[in-house]
Amino acid sequence: MPDGVAPGQAGDLDPQVWASGVRRGPDGALTAAGVDVRDLAREHGTPAYVLDEADFRARARTYREAFTAAFAPLGVGVDVYYAGKAFLSVAVARWAHEEGLRVDTSTGGELAVALRAGVPGADIGLHGNNKADAEIERALAAGVGRLIVDSRGEVDRIADAAARTGRRAPVMVRVTTGVHAGGHEYISTAHEDQKFGLSVAGGPAMEALRAVLERPELELLGIHSHIGSQILDAAGFEEAARTLLRLRADLHAATGYLAPEVDLGGGYGVAYLPGESAIDPGDVAGRLATTVGAVCAELSTPVPRISIEPGRAIVGPTTFTLYTVGTVKPVTVDGDDGPFTRTYVAVDGGMSDNLRPALYGAHYTATVASRVASPETVRARVVGKHCESGDIVVHDVALSADVAPGDLLAVPVTGAYGRSMASNYNHVPRPPVLAVRDGAVRVLVRRETEDDLLALDLG
Ligand code: LLP
């Protein structure tokens, strides 16, 4: 059975995997916020990322409102930081901020985008397991709301930079709670054997927290944990929250300092295939509020201000990638139940615009987007144009049997870690990001050109 069972022309686009503004018209073509994908392809070319602005804003609001409402009875506010690593552009940073979110950055480059967007420094956080001094200084100069300390050595490096710049640095300490959660080993980040954070169990977390308190140039805002990505079960978040709150209480007992904030990280999972469900923000917010309330009562400590850092859940489902079909090639494959035909459908992009299938074995679905196509399906594999057999966009999908060169093909849920992890492999220019809203298109990031690539080559 193919993974992505969306035949080209079911007409019923599963709302779990398509942005709210995507429809299929009577002529079989998709429209996004009222814009016909055939017009998009004609005017802007393919491949292209098509981002539904209203859908992005709605998801941002949903997270902010769900967490704010859940924690209100505990008497604390919640800051939602949009994790820019999922996808960041000037416009997107602005939208997030307009919807009441702050912006989480993990490098000087992401910080530069957030600042260019006009997001006030106070509403920006800076992460990174290996921050350069220049990044730290730039963050301090911008007056960022917080730097997240990721190693013991960084405590002194940030304090020294603060002394040099004459600004007190607000910091959180990122800890590893031992909770192992998420879709793939490479994206689960709070177990001990990886590069992020400081271990709670072994003592380095407490040691770093105490070191922060000893440096007058630093202001300890709180404790941070990010347990992984594409998490569909709230239990891991609850477990991590318990560990963070206990550590906060231990620090209080040991030093008399009660850290005012706790950051529960990002990682909220989304649906990639029809029939899958995203984690429900209201549900996870409610469960986390219950856990935080109960643990704080148990420990007799006041409830801290909470922050979270969703990236994928805000931007992932807002976007689909629009490709043009080129070569269509049936291949006979020896399956477990005997030989079958797999139709290789090659598109004009691939692993350079979506690395996730090659890197994580991630699964997607696809649909013919430009016409009424056959209700009969073939077992298809959507592949790219790169010189590599692992260049797969959709591993296994039931596509309309008459899929043909020149068709437009749409692959949903590519908003997170798509453009942001895109490369120029084989000197393929990276696609544009086109925002659609109320029947209008706006180019957020233009298509790269061969000249852009050659401009870097000094001959
Ligand atoms: N906060 C921190 C500290 C993080 O490291 C991350 C993601 C996030 C927030 C946002 O996580 P999200 O809500 O988007 O799951 N490239 C991988 C995902 C890597 C995630 C890295 N950190 C992928 O394509 O699945």
Q: Ligand 1: does its nearest atom lie under 6 Å from the Cβ of 229? A: yes
8 A C-beta contact, residue 409 and residue 323: yes
Q: Give the separation between CA 322 and CA 41, rounded to whole angstroms.
A: 8
Q: Is 387 a catalytic residue?
A: yes
Distance 78 CA to ligand 1 centre (A): 19
Please report the pLDDT score of residue 424 as a whole number: 98
Please report the pLDDT score of residue 3 as a whole number: 47
Q: Is the dihedral of CA 346, 348, 351, 354 positive or negative?
A: negative
Cβ partners under 8 Å of residue 10, min gap 6: 375
pLDDT at 381 over 70: yes
Among 149, 229, 318, the mutation site with the greatest number of ligand 1 atoms within 8 A of its Cβ is 229
Could you give the domains of the chain?
A: 6-53+317-455 (2.40.37.10), 54-313 (3.20.20.10)
Q: Ligand 1: does its nearest atom lie under 6 Å from the Cβ of 187? A: yes
Please report the pLDDT score of residue 5 as a whole number: 43
pLDDT at 306 over 50: yes
Please report the pLDDT score of residue 9 as a whole number: 54
Which band of pLDDT confidence, cut at 50, 70 and 90, is reported for residue 194?
confident
- Taking the CA of residue 184 as reference, the ligand 1 atom at the shortest distance is 25
Q: Of the residues 195, 256, 387, 406, which is catalytic?
A: 387
Q: Please provide the average confidence, as pLDDT, over all residues in the chain.
A: 95
Give this prediction's pTM. Answer: 0.96
Kindly state the average pLDDT of the residues 108-130: 98
**263-299: per-residue pLDDT in tens?**
999 999 999 999 999 999 999 999 999 999 999 999 9
Please report the pLDDT score of residue 179 as a whole number: 87
Q: Ligand 1: does its nearest atom lie under 6 Å from the Cβ of 127? A: yes
- DSSP class of residue 413? S
Cβ partners under 8 Å of residue 153, min gap 6: none
Please report the pLDDT score of residue 189 as a whole number: 57
The CA-CA-CA angle for residues 242, 195, 197, to 5°, reads 35
Distance 85 CA to ligand 1 centre (A): 7
